[in-house]
Structure 1
Amino acid sequence: MANVFRQLFVDFFSAIVFLAVYAVTGDVLIATGVAIAGSIAQFVHARLTGKKLEFMTYAILAVVVVLGCATLLTSDPRFVLMKPSIGHFAVGLVMLQRGWMLRYLPPIVTDNIPEYANAAGYAWAALMFALGIGNIAIAMTGDIKLWAFYISVVAIGAKIVAFAIQYVVFRVIIARRLRAAATRA
């Protein structure tokens, strides 16, 4: 699970940098420029350290540069505020692949309830699409403080709540299955 959170941090690094710089400076254009530079630096660092770069790495860099430049050219923050939606939609599409979640789960889950893991994977995809749509709605208002709250509290909170619900549900179902198997034996 630590890998999942690390990957989310890597994928949303430029949004995190944008939020941090905006919180300090209150200037959208400075925050956008630093986010673009941070995204490019992250990419260069990955290349120099020999990390395998996936399609998403290139896509995220392109999105940050294109939307960031659109923000800088128009002085309209809505472009850069849309970036998390693209990330959510891309992750949601990946999560529509049957069985994607199985590699992240412990053997007790994959051995006992793989069908529930597949259903949970689709639920996660739906959550990603919902968060992406919510981000677009918030970004279109142009209110950066509301957007920052949505990205840092609502979106992250929704993922934490979803993870907690999944954990409890999986734990209850596995316990019931193991008890039932023990009584049959």
Structure 2
Amino acid sequence: MKFFVDLLPIIVFFAVYKLTGDFLLATISILAATGVQMAYSWVRHRKIERIHLISAGLLAVLGGMTLLFDNSAFLQWKPTILYWVMGAAVLISHFWGKKNLTQRSLEGLLKSSNVQLQAVPTTTWSKLNLGVFGFLTAIGVANLYVAYQFSESAWVNFKLFGLTGITLVFMVALIMPLSRYMETEQKAEPAMINEEQD
């Protein structure tokens, strides 16, 4: 359910654009869908994730400029700026704090799935964190490449299928090196004692 809620604005944007061919109308729709997404998160969890707040802020500014100047380029820059802001945060965390951002995020994600990590070397976390930084930087560049080298329609397709698909594949690749350190939490079940009577 959370995955769908996270993708809701992009799905709505894609659907409206494909149905109407109107980028400005699709921009209005993604702004509205983002408002719904944030309202749902607040009502359901009484909090809004920081990344959603940053994304919504960028969307409000760049989406507003897209509507004001009738220029899709502003909104097309939004994923790149978001990825690069996240990349900067990841890089800063590499040099500041006991745990880098990748370690904190993955430990939290796996813990919510009842998976504990045992004695992961610091060097492994460092390599994964730098890998995340490199990925976020590269995918930001890829977004701009598609935006400026291909049609508006191609970029809309890339935004939903390309960026989402690439990110999912990267997440799997990111977690794979940790598999050897994973330990699933299992609830102990009371032993059943069968007594046979003669």
Q: TM-score, normalised by structure 2?
A: 0.68
Which residue matches 1:107? 116
Q: Distance in 1 between matches of 2:53 and 2:176?
A: 36
Secondary structure class of the residue paired with 1:52: coil
Which residue matches 1:132? 140
Letter in 2 for 1:101: T
| 1:83 aligned residue (78, 86, 90) | 78
Which residue matches 2:61? 66
Task: Provide the identity percentage.
Answer: 22
Q: Does 70-79 or 39-48 show the bigger shift?
A: 39-48
| 1:41 aligned residue (29, 36, 41) | 36
| 2:128 aligned residue (117, 120, 130) | 120
Where does the alignment leave 5 or more consecutive residues of structure 2 unmatched? 95-99, 182-198
Q: Distance in 2 between matches of 1:153 and 1:92?
A: 21
Deviation, structure 1 residue 88:
1.4
Q: Distance in 2 between matches of 1:35 and 1:157?
A: 20
Q: Whose helix proportion is higher, 1 or 2?
A: 1
Would the aligned equivalents of 1:92 and 1:128 in 2 still touch at CA under 8 Å?
A: yes
Note the aligned Cα RMSD (angstroms).
Answer: 2.9
Q: Distance in 1 between matches of 2:157 and 2:27?
A: 18
Where does the alignment leave 5 or more consecutive residues of structure 1 unmatched? 176-185
Q: Distance in 2 between matches of 1:124 and 1:30?
A: 34
Q: Distance in 2 between matches of 1:119 and 1:147?
A: 31
Structure 1 164/65 Cα, relative in aligned 2: closer, same or farther at 3 Å? closer
